[in-house]
Structure 1
Amino acid sequence: MTQLSAAAVMFVDNVDRISAFYRGVAAMTVVHADDEHVVLEAAGFQLIVHAIRYSDAGETTTYPLREDGCIKLCLPVSDIDTARSVAVGLGGELWPPEREWQARGVRVCDGRDPEGNVFQLRQSVS
């Protein structure tokens, strides 16, 4: 029997852009891709980026900040500072260092992806 990975599905307007963002920021690798979705993987976790079109979005390039959702992706990274630069280059952002915190040996920072979804990056602190 095959061991399944934990996974989450994120419905997005632009699969290519969001997949590139999480590949770059969280060093995720593509394990499957087709016209409607991309499956990314890192640290035994899969993120399924699935196409969904907003009826009123058209070809928008600006998305509202989605911080009131019930679930936030939390992804491991080797270096939050590097991820912050990568996030900006790929159309998202990580909050500035003064908004970071540490708990239980982990440095933590939230940010938003290019479609406004809030996520969290975690770096192990020695």
Structure 2
Amino acid sequence: MFAADVSKVAAFYRGVFAMRDIETGAGYVVLERDGFQLTVHGLRGERSANGAAREDTYLKVCFPVDNLAAVRREAASLGGELWAAEREWESDTRGFRACDGRDPEGNVFQAREPIAG
């Protein structure tokens, strides 16, 4: 993932998805949780204005979470957002309830909560 402010975006994913730093260097941070790694690289050029959501990207990362409401609160506190609960949807065949959101720079992600069964 590319970001204009590597520190801010890394802090967002650390806080919202309980990821931890496993490597840092000049212009990048590698985060990890449960064997999944996300590298945040410094962006060259201009970023999107005002952190507007960029839904037409080549990648959307989907994170397993325990509670969508908790993710919604934490994302907002760190400069991003999880869309309103009215936009959540369920996949019975795959066993989750999901909602999209954006990080502070507009990168769209999806949070997936297990359906109680």
Query: What TM-score do you get using the length of structure 1 for normalisation?
Result: 0.84
User: Runs of 5+ in structure 2 lacking a partner?
Assistant: none
Following superposition, the deviation at residue 29 of structure 1 comes to: 1.1
Could you tell me which amino acid in structure 1 is paired with residue 3 of structure 2?
A: V
Could you tell me which amino acid in structure 1 is paired with residue 115 of structure 2?
A: V
**Partner of residue 24, structure 1:** 15
1:52 maps to 2:52: no
Runs of 4+ aligned residues of structure 1 deviating over 4 Å after TM superposition are none
Task: Give a deviation string over 1:32-82, Cα, whole Å, max 9, x none.
Answer: 11231110111211000011232x45xx97133211112211111111111
Task: Give a deviation string over 1:70-103, Cα, whole Å, max 9, x none.
Answer: 2211111111111100000000000011100111
Distance 1:39 1:110 in 2: 23
Residue 98 of structure 1: SS of its match in structure 2?
Answer: helix
Distance 1:37 1:91 in 2: 20
**Partner of residue 61, structure 2:** 73
Distance 1:79 1:29 in 2: 19
* Count of matched residue positions in the alignment of Structure 1 and Structure 2: 114
Whether contact under 8 Å (1:108, 1:122) holds in the other structure is yes
RMSD across aligned positions (CA): 1.6
Question: Which of the residues 88, 110, 115 maps onto 2:105?
Answer: 115
Whether contact under 8 Å (1:109, 1:121) holds in the other structure is yes
**Partner of residue 98, structure 1:** 86
Query: What TM-score do you get using the length of structure 2 for normalisation?
Result: 0.90
Alignment of 1:1-40 (within 5 A): 10-40=1-31
Distance 2:37 2:29 in 1: 10
User: Runs of 5+ in structure 1 lacking a partner?
Assistant: 1-9
**Partner of residue 6, structure 1:** none
Q: Sequence identity of aligned pairs in percent? A: 50
